[in-house]
Amino acid sequence: MAILPAANCSSLVPDSWRVGVPAPALPAGDTAGDWIAYADQAVGQLDRANGRTSDALAIVTACEARDAAAVREVQRPWWRPW
Amino acid sequence: MTGALDLANRIRRLLSPTGWAVVLAVVCIIALLATCARDARRDAQRAHQAAEIAAGLTEARTQAARDAGLIRDGAEARDAAIDNLNRRNTDAIQSAPGADQRLDPAVTDAGRRALCLRDATRGDPACRELFQPRPR
Does residue A12 fall inside a structural domain?
Answer: no
Residue A71 lies in a domain: yes
Q: Which residue has the higher pLDDT, B53 or B25?
A: B25
Over residues B11-19, the mean pLDDT reads: 84
In contact, A55 and B74? CB cutoff 8 Å: yes
Q: pLDDT tens, A30-77?
A: 999 999 999 999 999 999 999 999 999 999 999 999 988 888 887 777
pLDDT confidence bin for B8, thresholds 50/70/90: confident
Chain A hits for B101, CB-CB cut-off 8 Å, are 31-33
Domain ranges of chain B: 1-39, 51-91, 104-136
The percent of residues above 70 in pLDDT, for chain B, comes to: 96
What chain A residue is nearest to B68 in terms of C-alpha separation? Answer: A59
**Contact at CB, B68 and A67, closer than 8 angstroms:** no
Task: Determine the pLDDT at residue A7.
Answer: 59
Q: How much is the pLDDT for A1?
A: 46
For residue B18, what pLDDT is reported?
Answer: 87
Q: How many CB contacts within 8 angstroms connect chain A with chain B?
A: 125
Number of domain units in chain A = 1
For B:94-133, CB contacts with A below 8 A are 94, 96, 98-103, 105, 108, 111-112, 115-116, 118, 120-121, 124, 126-127
Cβ neighbours of residue A49 closer than 8 Å, sequence gap 6 or more: A20, A21
Q: Considering CB atoms only, which of A4, A26, A59 is closest to B126?
A: A26
A73 against B136, higher pLDDT: A73
Which phi and psi angles does A61 have, rounded to 5°? -65, -45
The chain B residue lying nearest A70, using CA atoms, is B56
The answer to whether A63 contacts chain B (CB < 8 Å) is yes
SS (H, E, C) chain A: CCCCCCCCHHHHCCHHHCCCCCCCCCCCCCEHHHHHHHHHHHHHHHHHHHHHHHHHHHHHHHHHHHHHHHHHHHHCCCCCCC
CB–CB contact B115 A26 (8 Å): yes
Cβ distance of B57 and A52 shorter than 8 Å: no
**pTM, full prediction:** 0.72
Mean pLDDT of the B71-83 span:
97
Instruction: Give the structural domain span for A52.
Output: 48-82
Tell me the chain A residues in contact with residue B103 when contact means C-beta distances shorter than 8 Å.
30-32, 35
Distance (Å, rounded) from C-alpha B31 to C-alpha B29? 5
Per-residue pLDDT band for B135 (boundaries 50, 70, 90) equals: low
Q: Which helix (H) or strand (E) holds B88?
A: helix B17-94
Helix (H, G, I), strand (E, B) or coil at B132: coil
pLDDT band at B5 (very low <50, low <70, confident <90, very high): confident
B52 touches chain A (CB under 8 A): yes
Over 70: is that where the pLDDT of A13 sits?
A: yes
pLDDT number for residue A8: 87
Nearest CA-CA distance, residue A60 and chain B, Å: 8
CA dihedral B112, B117, B119, B123 (to 10 degrees): 60
Residue A10 lies in a domain: no
* Mean local confidence (pLDDT), B107-117: 95
Interface ipTM > 0.85: no
User: Does residue B120 have a pLDDT over 70?
Assistant: yes
